[in-house]
Amino acid sequence: MKSRLSYLSSRSERWAGKAFVLPAVLVVLFLSIFPLIVSLYLSFAHMRFFKGQLEINFVGWHNYYKLLFGSGKTHFLGLMRAPSLVGWLILLGVVVLLALMWVRYVRGKKMSIGETSWRLLASVVVLGGTGMLVYTLGNSGRPGTVSITLIYVLFGISAQYLLGLGLALMCVQRLPGQRFFRTIFLIPMMITPVGIAYLFRMLTDTGKGPLTPLWQALGWSGFSWTSDPWGARIAVMIGDLWQWTPFMFVVLLAALESRSKSQLEAAQVDGANAWAMFLHITVPQILPVSATLVLIRLIEAFKIVDLPNIMTNGGPGTATESMTLQAYFAWRTLDLGGASAIAYLLMVVVTLVCLTYFNLIHRKVAERL
């Protein structure tokens, strides 16, 4: 009898736990899984709106074909032309680095089918991404939204990490006023992306912005950031740099403050200089945090939309239009199928880039721990 009661009691406890968890699971399914499935179907369909009704026609791969091979190819993938000498050198350098990576991997005698497949995928992604940038940014070429997004991601993450690390290193030196500057560095995190976009839109206005006297003194009063493709891109990247550097700074500052003091003191006793201590002690200790930090920022950087939308409206032409912004423009014109296709292609690009990063860098960092 007691065993029967204990069985019923344990079973009721399990069902009670499931009953409490079920509402949260339903909310997650409704807010994430269901829209994901619906948007996947819409990417294979064409929607037409009529008065009082909605018509959905299944068109198969037409939306994807239009972006990759059809009328939207130049907009999405860009116009590819023969690269310049610098472009050929960059492409050659990437090929050499990949070849060295494969030689080192083959000599390591730890080959497996899974590891070889991942490395092959990473090599294809790196070489394909480099080739797209080189061919679209070369002579008479024009980058599409994929190349522009990659430019934002590569420049943004590199510059933000280096600047955030530099600021964090300064703040751990116990300099006068460091607490004040720690607070100042966090201000961009308290401002919405829309506010930052409007701020830099005013700052880059050489005709009537607050920095007009400075532009006039430099002789740039007649220059318009938004009328020049690279000027507009640089303005967007500077705004993105100002917005996300505090995030890098906060995390790296916490990593630097958690360093092992005993190793630093032992290195000082042995006569190691500041650069040697940074290279051989600080970098290995903050490497795991840095690898995860870059991975998180990598995923977020692909979704840039506020800054190019408000600062330049994607212009001039499509010079500053990211993949997310292109999907937003397609949605705004009620091309929901095209917007869904762009969103899923963005998901594919993000997945491939993150898998490449994880297999080339993040996994290596984990193996060293």
- Check whether residue 133 and residue 152 sit in a common domain: no
- pLDDT in the model for residue 362: 61
Looking at the predicted structure, is the pLDDT value of residue 51 above 90? no
- Check whether residue 163 and residue 270 sit in a common domain: yes
pLDDT 10s digits, 78-105 = 998 888 888 899 999 999 999 998 888 8
The C-alpha atoms of residue 158 and residue 300 are separated, in whole angstroms, by: 14
* Residue 50, beta-bridge partner list: 53
- pLDDT in the model for residue 176: 77
User: Could you tell me the pLDDT band of residue 144, with boundaries at 50, 70 and 90?
Assistant: very high
CATH number of the domain bearing residue 168: 1.10.3720.10
- Check whether residue 83 and residue 186 sit in a common domain: no
- Prediction pTM value: 0.87
* Candidate from 32-36, 244-248, 350-354 with smallest mean pLDDT: 32-36
Average pLDDT, the chain: 84
The last residue of one of the domains, among 143, 171, 201, is 143
Relative orientation angle of helices 145-171 and 336-357, to the nearest 10 degrees: 50
Q: How many CB atoms lie within 10 A of CB 311?
A: 26
User: Could you tell me the pLDDT band of residue 6, with boundaries at 50, 70 and 90?
Assistant: low
- Check whether residue 226 and residue 282 sit in a common domain: yes
Looking at the predicted structure, is the pLDDT value of residue 30 above 80? no
User: How confident is the model over 35-64, as a mean pLDDT?
Assistant: 85
- Check whether residue 223 and residue 281 sit in a common domain: yes
- Check whether residue 288 and residue 209 sit in a common domain: yes
The C-alpha atoms of residue 45 and residue 358 are separated, in whole angstroms, by: 34
The C-alpha atoms of residue 133 and residue 59 are separated, in whole angstroms, by: 31
Please check whether residue 224 lies inside any domain of the structure.
yes
Please check whether residue 23 lies inside any domain of the structure.
no
pLDDT 10s digits, 173-225 = 877 777 777 788 888 888 888 889 888 888 887 777 777 787 778 777 777 77
Please check whether residue 83 lies inside any domain of the structure.
yes
The C-alpha atoms of residue 150 and residue 323 are separated, in whole angstroms, by: 10
- Which residues constitute the domain of residue 97? 72-143
Please check whether residue 355 lies inside any domain of the structure.
no
Tokens found for residue 281: 């002690």
For the chain, the domain total comes to 2
- Check whether residue 115 and residue 219 sit in a common domain: no
- Check whether residue 158 and residue 290 sit in a common domain: yes
Name which residue leads in pLDDT, 64 or 104. Answer: 64
Looking at the predicted structure, is the pLDDT value of residue 7 above 60? no
Say which amino acid occupies 313. N
Q: How many CB atoms lie within 10 A of CB 318?
A: 21
User: How confident is the model over 97-124, as a mean pLDDT?
Assistant: 83
The C-alpha atoms of residue 294 and residue 287 are separated, in whole angstroms, by: 10
- pLDDT in the model for residue 367: 58
- pLDDT in the model for residue 44: 92
- pLDDT in the model for residue 83: 87
- pLDDT in the model for residue 17: 65
What is the secondary structure of 41-72 as a DSSP string? Answer: HHTTEEEEEETTEEEEEE-TTHHHHHHHTSTT
Please check whether residue 55 lies inside any domain of the structure.
no
What is the secondary structure of 184-246 as a DSSP string? Answer: HHTGGGGS-HHHHHHHHHHHT-TTTSTTHHHHHHHT-TT--GGGSHHHHHHHHHHHHHHHHHH
Tell me the backbone φ, ψ of residue 45, rounded to 5 degrees.
-135, 170
pLDDT 10s digits, 241-292 = 999 999 999 999 888 888 777 887 787 777 778 788 888 888 888 888 888 8
Please check whether residue 61 lies inside any domain of the structure.
no
Please check whether residue 363 lies inside any domain of the structure.
no
- pLDDT in the model for residue 365: 62
Please check whether residue 5 lies inside any domain of the structure.
no
- Check whether residue 106 and residue 235 sit in a common domain: no
- Check whether residue 264 and residue 121 sit in a common domain: no
Are 362 and 291 within 8 A, CB to CB?
yes
- Check whether residue 238 and residue 260 sit in a common domain: yes
Tokens found for residue 313: 């409206």
Q: How far apart are the first and last CA of the chain?
A: 54
Give the residue among 235, 244, 238 at the shortest CA–CA distance from 164.
244
The C-alpha atoms of residue 338 and residue 314 are separated, in whole angstroms, by: 18
- Check whether residue 151 and residue 82 sit in a common domain: no
